[in-house]
Chains A and B, each alone.
Chain A
């Protein structure tokens, strides 16, 4: 990032956004809005992570399964073994990453629709295990009373995470790290190689890019952060059930990434914000939510090939790329 200098406008706007993100829960104290901000943050983590896999040209429909793995893993570690959240949280990420590698190794050789089907099947398998292994995962009813993260000592006092306002900062921190890591990766030589794989896999391999290793790397990093999002979700909502991690949720993340604009980090962020908040705006017309979704998706696919991010760039540049 410390290239020949970032334009001052860029530094200014990034700082401004950060400041706003940090003070916003102090200004907007409404519980409902704070709830939405937390959900948006979690959606951003999952969508930005998905984007990394999409960047290598692999369409994964298992994103919700990785959220679920993170959520259940951390929940069980806390409830059954009595681990502190602060240990369960990273372990949940590692577990999701581990499962990602196990699934990625045999499936990432497949491309296009075959990989999509394989990840779809895996996602549904995970959901069925959550549903049917009642003794461990609590069945369809899921698991209740998941505790909030333990307070951490802080300058003589302690930081608590029971309130939405405080949990927001935890989500914000993880979200910013996710965005930073993904941004750095996608703008590095490795990120260029990811996109080269998407564009011409055989040529990339022949040009000396370790295609399989990189696909696995993208999948691993994506799974880790997605698992972390799952853990955060469980300890925020205090309740998880298999239904939360269905195929439809995975599709939801894909739609967020596509509407926002695949390939950049900004795209998935915008997509996640847009599609988390949009349904709330149209809450009164609950039945039409899916219709609005469909219209938004079709509009973007037809008219904005690079998603909302592409539109934003065109507007700010005053012209197309």
Chain B
């Protein structure tokens, strides 16, 4: 089943096409990669899929449902969560509070229930906390439960960012350069984490510059350049693709040394 279907999507910024006639699909249960040189439009694609931007052309479907015009919070509620390229957290709040906020859309009590603190509202809060603690231990962040996010190390902050996204119980998670600024040990840990996320049954779309990570993790890769798809296939196919190598200019080097 196609979990995400991007169909002929185009996005124009002031006359400049950031994404042009882009189509690809992501099957349920895979780790998919989206790569391309700097400025190729990868983050724009994520912004389009997650509802931050609305495309000028084309349509985007999540589980066959048209999400093209939906706002981010609705897209998240439908099961597509994402992380940000820069480490974005609720910095003054504790780790556990950060994750609870990520679960907000799963609340059942509604406004009046919350105002009057009904049984349902208290259940919501209990579930938030339970899920948050689960995710903290999944991320090996247990010991930082009550530490303000801003006091965490870079690696921990990035993992917390992923935890916020996971808190919404997504079926598809978009990870925007999760390894940026990480040391090799942290990168290895993040790779392991992504595999464990896949094993939880959550489909992953990974945007990443670390080719070793991308080639090692992904089942399928989409390559874009100047907002257009130039290749799609398994890591082995992508590494042999002449157009991809040309677009990367030196990426050949990276591939060779994996």
Contact = CB atoms under 8 A, between A and B. Distances in A.
Interface string A187-227: 01110110010011011111111111000010000000000
B114 A210 contact: no
Contacts of B89: 200, 203
Given A184-B117, A199-B90, A200-B89, A206 B111 contact: no
B76 A188 contact: no
A181 B115 contact: yes
A208 B90 contact: no
Contacts of B171: none
Most B CB contacts (10 A, CB to CB) among A188, A190, A192 go to: A188
A13 interface: no
Nearest to A190: B114
B130 interface: no
A203 B84 contact: yes
B168 A207 contact: yes
Interface in A142-193: 181, 184-185, 188-190, 192-193
Given A189-B104, A189-B107, A193-B104, A202 B88 contact: yes
B205 interface: no
A285 interface: no
Given A200-B90, A203-B90, A209-B73, A188 B84 contact: no
Most B CB contacts (10 A, CB to CB) among A202, A205, A211 go to: A205
B52 interface: yes
A6 interface: no
A188 B115 contact: yes
A135 interface: no
B121 interface: yes
Given A199-B91, A200-B90, A202-B52, A207 B101 contact: yes
A206 B52 contact: yes
Contacts of A196: 90, 93, 101, 104
Q: Which 10 A-B pairs have the closest CB atoms?
A: A208-B105, A208-B76, A205-B72, A207-B102, A188-B114, A203-B88, A210-B73, A206-B72, A196-B101, A209-B104
6 contacts: A2-B117, A192-B100, A196-B93, A203-B90, A206-B81, A208-B104
Given A192-B104, A206-B50, 5 more contacts: A188-B121, A203-B89, A206-B52, A207-B165, A210-B74
